[in-house]
Structure 1
Amino acid sequence: MLKVRVLDHPYIQVVLTTLRDKNIRQIEFRKAMVRLGRAMGFEITRDLELERVEVETPLGVKTEGVRFKDMDKVVIITVLRAGMPMTEGLIKIFYNARQGVVSARRVEEKGMRADKTFDVEITYVRLPKISNEDTVIIVDPMLATGSTIREVLKIVLSKSRPRKVFVVGAIATPLAIDRVREVVEEYNLDATIYTAAVDLTVNEKGYIVPGLGDAGDRAFGE
């Protein structure tokens, strides 16, 4: 089953507005994407299971508290290169996460097909061992046509069957959400998309409108 959570926290929406602004410089964009990843990480922890623990304070008094039960069973997979700044922010929250990378790009030279999909070129895959007790977080800032994230999901699922899959992006479209749902239903996954906004339109080049442009180019240069 696929769930979609649009994170409407005021701080997240302020950072998103900064990212949408065409006038901010490259370094400002990259730093804002890091901030977005960190803030979204806080929100994502709401869906992690807690367990009760007892600790002793410096005053020698025992008191009860909580900790995340599965914080040590998180794998973050970054879609290169656009996902790198968001991952930097997420790692500040999921500090024990194991990491993997997939280098993927839409083959824009061939253009978008009539069904609004692209060929996707995968040039590098490096994943840690993933168990059926792990939660996998896949980071791709722009879920536009869903072509890239669908291929990345299939690569991950061809090698493993994690307990949960979280897809994290700055902006998603209904089209991309539907294509993720197709994979989720095919593999019978427990999956959630976390995004700061759902923009309704994809233009003829496959870019989200209003969107924020090409996240990789804006963060690292063309």
Structure 2
Amino acid sequence: MVHELTSPLTTHLVNTLRDSQSDALRFRQIVKTLAVLLAEAALGEEALQEKFLLTWQGERSFKLFDESELLFVTVLRAGLPMLEAMADLFPKAQAGFLAIKRDEKTHESKLYYDRVPDCTGKHLI
């Protein structure tokens, strides 16, 4: 499923990425922010599960994502800040990596690195 973000905030952030005056640090910060917005859209249909947590008031039930069911796959280089943002939000989730290079003659994309764990039973993002 494809999730398209169309909010004014997303438009602002994407257009800021296009600014050739943005330095590498600013670029990574914006990509991480966009990743959080994308995660909200992508996980919108994912069911939260009841989990018991020990709080200062004792054990209580809360709704949380089952991080073990999440699998984030990134395309290497520009996608790494996105994966970093997801790892910050979901430290127990798995990660996978793809590397794709464009053939300069045919302009076709070629997959040359694929390290994605088994996706069975996972919510793949």
Quote the offset at 1:37 in angstroms: 1.3
Give ranges in structure 2 of 5+ residues lacking alignment: none
Quote the offset at 1:52 in angstroms: 3.2
Quote the offset at 1:74 in angstroms: 1.6
Number of matched residues?
Answer: 125
Quote the offset at 1:103 in angstroms: 1.5
Q: For residue 12 of structure 1, what is the amino acid of its counterpart?
A: T
RMSD: 2.5
The correspondence of residues 79-98 of structure 1 with structure 2, limited to 5 A, is 79-98=75-94
Q: TM-score, normalised by structure 2?
A: 0.77
CA contact (8 A) 2:3 2:41 kept: no
Specify which structure has the bigger relative contact order, considering alpha-carbon pairs within 8 angstroms and separated by 6 or more residues.
1
Cα deviation digits, residues 180-222 of structure 1 (max 9, x gap): xxxxxxxxxxxxxxxxxxxxxxxxxxxxxxxxxxxxxxxxxxx
How many percent of aligned residue pairs carry the same amino acid? 27
User: Structure 1 residues 44 and 95 mapped into 2: Cα distance closer, same or farther (>3 Å)?
Assistant: farther
Aligned to 2:82, what secondary structure does the other structure show?
Answer: helix
CA contact (8 A) 1:38 1:92 kept: no
Cα deviation digits, residues 29-85 of structure 1 (max 9, x gap): 12211221123223333221112345554234x6543122x3211222221223212
Q: TM-score, normalised by structure 1?
A: 0.48
Task: State the partner residue of 2:69.
Answer: 73
User: Structure 1 residues 123 and 52 mapped into 2: Cα distance closer, same or farther (>3 Å)?
Assistant: closer
Matches of 2:81 and 2:102, distance apart in 1: 20
Give ranges in structure 1 of 5+ residues lacking alignment: 112-117, 138-222
Matches of 2:43 and 2:3, distance apart in 1: 13
